[in-house]
Amino acid sequence: MRTRVFVIMLSALTLGLPMAAHAQSHAIDPKAPNGWQMLDSLPTYNKLPCTARMGGAEINVNLSLNNDGIPFLVLARPDWRDLRGDAVAKVSVDGAAADDQPVTMIGNLVLALVRDPALVQKLRGGRSVAWTLPIGRFEGRIDGFDGALTAVTACIVKRDGRGI
């Protein structure tokens, strides 16, 4: 249930619905003001969300960690509607050969639990990522992913008082 509420709030945030106006964030790297933003709060969620967000022209990318410390990405576009089901996406970091990545599509979101350590390493050093989904090909910025992942991890340690 907690995951479902979180996904609904992320959906509202990426769509720009009115409740999103109350979300607070700050730049993870003040030297890169157009880079990753750390969400400090979300409406109706009384804990730190520990989620980083990178806005983009084609897709918005949200980064968090599951309870096992595995990164998960939430891709969103305001014009996506009624997505549903599981699929395998092709993921290319900086134009390199694509990796297969299982995804779940819900509403206007594409959820990806990135279990492959090699893909995580590529994302850490990447600047852009192209996702080929059943509905088309979409590119997003990820420069600074390593710093965003570090910030999300530190946020979870601070929030939960435990390591990952």
The DSSP symbol for 42 reads B
The topology under which CATH files domain 2-160 is Immunoglobulin-like (2.60.40)
Query: Distances from the Cα of 82 to the Cαs of 42, 79, 99, 140, in angstroms?
Result: 24, 10, 25, 21
Per-residue confidence in pLDDT tens, the chain, 164 aa: 444 444 444 444 444 433 344 567 777 765 554 689 988 777 777 787 889 999 999 999 999 999 899 999 999 999 999 999 999 999 999 999 999 999 999 999 999 999 999 999 999 999 999 999 999 999 999 999 999 999 999 889 988 887 66
pTM score, whole prediction: 0.81
